[in-house]
Structures are given as C-alpha cells and as structure tokens.
Amino acid sequence: MAKYSKLQVIQTITETGLVPVFYNSDVELSKKVLKACYDGGVRVFEFTNRGDFAHEVFIELVKYANNELPGLILGIGSVVDPETAALYIQLGANFVVGPLFNPEIAPICNRRLIPYCPGCATPSEIGAAQQAGCDICKVFPGDVLGPAFVKAIKAPMPWSQLMITGGVKPTKENLEAWFKAGVTCVGMGSNLFPKEVIEAGEWNMISELCAQTLEIIKSLR
C-alpha cells in the first residue's frame, strides 16, 4: 500500500523537479544508490521493472525507504500492463511510470489514488492520458523529441504537466533547455549513475551529482 498521498507525490515531483530512474538486480547495491540519492537531496525515486524478480528487489527497497529514509517517495517504472501496475501498487509503489500510455492502467491507479505517469510522444497521447486522469505525462523518448516538442505542446495545452525522460543530462545547458521549454520535471537515468562510479562504489559522487542537479534546477525556476 502506498505510504504517500497522490497530492504529496505530485507536489514533491513538481517542487524538486528531479526523478532519478534506476534499476539493478542487486538489493544491497540498489539500497546504497537509493541512500546516495537521498543524501543528495532527492525525495522522489523511480525503480524500474526491467529484470527478472525486479519486484523482489522493489519490496526490499520499499521496506528500507520506509524505515531508514523518511520522506523518500518510491515509485515503479517501465510498467506496460495493468497486472504489473496492480502488483507493484500492492507492494507499496507510490506512483507508476511507463514508457507508453496504456489506458487499462489508469483505472487501476485511479482506484487507489496512485499517480500514473504514462509515456507519450504525441499531442493526442497526452490528451488521452489527461482525459484518463493522468496529472503528469512522461514525454518519451526525450532525446528524440527534444525541447521544441515540449514548447510546442505547452502552447495550445498550457495546463500540461510534463516529465521528460530519455537522454537528460545533469548539466546546466541541458537542463536549461528543458525547463525553458516548460517541463515540470525531468527523469534522469544513466547520466546520473555513471557506470564507473557504480562499479567503484563511490556513492558520495552520486550524492554530489544529485545535489548539483537539484541546485541547477532550482536556479532555473
């Protein structure tokens, strides 16, 4: 069961502007990454459903966050069907993210007052998702669509709250382009978790990168 209300989740995503996106099959390594992000000021984290038994890792992360990381909102990503959404909601997901919009997922999340952030790549998909009750839509793939797409969407649909994911970098130049275009927040994966840093276990570097990214976002608003 979700620990945080839908309003709390949406407010935190909007206020911080950053949602780290991460997956690893190792529970202890995932906990260290989660703690590193938390120490860097992150309060919303998306663990992705990208491997066998990912739900077992997620269960442990939920317990860890609830016991050791007060205020951290943990959600699940890479969800493409309602059955998977229902599973993770039962396991404690506070929000559900997908690479695509599946209208069958929306009622599952709405019934439990869980934010559903579907992946959208056209105005029609965004409009359909909003009609289904999705407050924040994920624009994906971001590096393919670009900031110009976000700006174009916001012109006729200024109420849209968009989370860009895919190719977002923790640099002022990259973030400035997105936030000037009008995104509500960014989802950031591999660029926030350099492979060599993970392999070396340099968790403080991830904390510093998160803190720097949050500071840049704050300065752009």
The set of catalytic residues is: 46, 138
Per DSSP, the three-state class of 59 is: helix
CA distances from 168 to 18, 24, 187 (A): 11, 20, 7
- Burial call 80-118: b when 16+ CB within 10 Å, e when fewer: bebebbbbbbeebbbbbbbbebbeebbebbeebebbbbb
State the DSSP code for 164: E
d(CA 54, CA 59): 9
φ and ψ of 214, to 5 deg: -65, -35
138 and 145 Cβ atoms separated by less than 8 Å: no
In one-letter notation, the amino acid at residue 161 is Q
The C-alpha angle with vertex 9 and arms to 147 and 160, in degrees rounded to 5, equals 35
Tokens of 215: 């500071």
User: Counting every residue, how long is the chain?
Assistant: 221
Instruction: Report the candidate in 21, 4, 18, 35 with the shortest Cα–Cα distance to residue 201.
Output: 35
> What's the CA gap between 192 and 124, in Å, rounded?
31
